[in-house]
Amino acid sequence: MKLYNVAILGATGEVGREMLKILKERNFPVGELRLLASARSVGKVMEFGDRKVTVEEAGENSFAGMDIVLGAASNDLAKKFAPFITAAGAVFVDNSSAFRMNPDVPLVIPEINAEDVKYNKGIISNPNCSTIITLMAVKGINKLSKITAMNAATYQAVSGAGAGGPIELHTQNEALLNGGAIECKTFPYQIAQNLIPQIGSFLEDGYTTEEMKMQNEGRKIFHNQDLKVTCTCVRVPVVRSHSIAVSVYTENKLSVEDVKAAIAKEDGCRLVDDPANKKYPMPLDTSDQNIVFVGRIRKDLLFENGITLFCCGDQVRKGAATNAVQIAEEVIRLK
C-alpha cells in the first residue's frame, strides 16, 4: 500500500486532535506524520497508534515533503500558510472558512459532491459544521426533487466555540449550584441554563455571518445558485453535537413516506423517526460518531411542497475532522 506524508496544522486544538484520532480509526495510509502548532505547544508529544510524535512549530518550511496538509487552524493562519503548503506540492484540506467561497477552491462534503475534489488547485475547503450536518440530512430529499429553499434554526453545542466552551458551561453550572459568581469569557452571556441567539457577527440585514453560511455554502455544494436559505443560529447549553430544525421546500411535492425511505438509504445518515416510541435524533446519541441522525419528518403546514425535519450530528467529527479526512481519502483515490 502506498503511504502518504500527512501534516496537521493546528494539531493540538480540538479539531486537530480529532483529525489525528480519525486518521487512525479510518486506517488512512500515513507515512510521515508531522504535527504543527504554535510555539507554546512545541515539544508536546502526541500518540498516533504506537507512534509518539513530537509537535513542531508551524513555519514557512514545515510542509516540504508533505502530500496532504489537514488544516485545523484559524482563518488567519490558513491564509498565511496556504501559499507555502501549495508551493511544497501538498494538497491543503482546510477546515477554516478562509477559502470556502473562493470560486477556485472546491467546497466538499464527500457524500454529496466528491467529484469536485478533482478540480482542486492545491486547496480544498471543509464546509461549516452546521452546513455539513444539515445538507447530509437533506441530500436524499434533493435527489428526489431539487431543493429550492430551506428555513433552518440551528442549536449549536458549546464545543463549537472551541475548548473554552465546555469549560465555561461546566464552571458556570458549578457556580450556579454552589452560589458562586458567573464568569463569561468564551460567550458574551451566561450559557448555563440559557440560550444565546447569536453566533458570528451581525450583518447589515440583521443576519449573522454564521447564519449566511448555510445559504452561501449550500449553493456551492449543491451546485444550485438559486437556493434560498433563512437561518437562525442559537448557542445552547449542550456540550457536543449540533442540532438543526429545518423545513425544506422542493420543486415537486413529496410524500413523507418517500422522504423517509430516501433518507434511510443515504450513506452517512440514520433514520431515527418513531414518534410513537419517542425515538428521534438527540445530541447525546450522535456524539463521538460520524452518522447524522434524521427524524421528526412531517409535512410542512405552510407550503404544499415542504417537508420539516430535525437532525443531529457531531460537529467535531462529521462536522469538521471526519469530513476533512474523507476529503483526503478522495484526494489519494484520485492520485
Q: What is d(CA 299, CA 60) in angstroms, rounded to the nearest whole number? A: 54
Question: pLDDT tens digits, residue range 201-223?
Answer: 999 999 999 999 999 999 999 99
Q: What is d(CA 4, CA 334) in angstroms, rounded to the nearest whole number? A: 13
- Tell whether 190 and 69 lie within a shared domain: no
Under 8 Å between Cβ of 232 and 154: yes
Cell 403546514 locates to: 301
Q: Write down the catalytic residue from 233, 242, 269, 311.
A: 242
- Tell whether 123 and 172 lie within a shared domain: no
- Tell whether 158 and 118 lie within a shared domain: no
pLDDT at 129: 98
Identify the burial level of 195 via C-beta atoms within 10 angstroms of its C-beta, where 0-12 means exposed, 13-18 middle and 19 or more buried: exposed
Q: What is d(CA 125, CA 70) in angstroms, rounded to the nearest whole number? A: 10
Q: What is d(CA 16, CA 70) in angstroms, rounded to the nearest whole number? A: 8
Question: pLDDT tens digits, residue range 89-121?
Answer: 999 999 999 999 999 999 999 999 999 999 999
pLDDT at 312: 98
- Tell whether 207 and 328 lie within a shared domain: no
- Tell whether 182 and 113 lie within a shared domain: no
Share of the chain above pLDDT 70, in %: 100
Mean pLDDT of 292-312: 98
| Number of domains comprising the chain | 2
Helices 322-334 + 14-25 axis angle, to 10: 50
Average per-residue pLDDT in the chain?
A: 97
Confidence check: pLDDT of 1 > 90: no
pLDDT at 15: 96
Q: Is 170 a catalytic residue?
A: no
Domain that holds residue 105: 4-127+320-334
Question: pLDDT tens digits, residue range 268-282?
Answer: 999 999 999 999 999
Phi, psi for residue 231 in degrees, rounded to 5: -140, 140
- Tell whether 116 and 208 lie within a shared domain: no
Under 8 Å between Cβ of 300 and 249: yes
Q: What is d(CA 243, CA 233) in angstroms, rounded to the nearest whole number? A: 10
Taking CB atoms within 8 Å and a gap of at least 24, the contacts of 44-48 are 44/12, 46/11, 46/12, 46/17, 46/20, 48/20, 48/23, 48/24
Q: Write down the catalytic residue from 129, 233, 269, 311.
A: 129
C-alpha cell at 292: 447524522
End-to-end CA distance of the chain: 13
- Tell whether 71 and 190 lie within a shared domain: no
Q: What is d(CA 185, CA 74) in angstroms, rounded to the nearest whole number? A: 19
Positions of E strands within the chain: 4-9, 30-37, 45-48, 51-54, 56-57, 68-71, 91-94, 123-125, 147-156, 228-235, 242-250, 269-271, 292-299, 306-313
Q: What is d(CA 97, CA 84) in angstroms, rounded to the nearest whole number? A: 18
Q: Is 242 a catalytic residue?
A: yes
Cα-trace Rg, the chain: 20
- Tell whether 262 and 146 lie within a shared domain: yes
Confidence check: pLDDT of 335 > 90: no
- Tell whether 277 and 203 lie within a shared domain: yes
CATH code of residue 44: 3.40.50.720
- 21 secondary structure, DSSP code: H
> Which residues are CB-neighbours of 50 under 8 A, at least 6 positions away?
none
pLDDT at 171: 97
- Tell whether 136 and 191 lie within a shared domain: yes
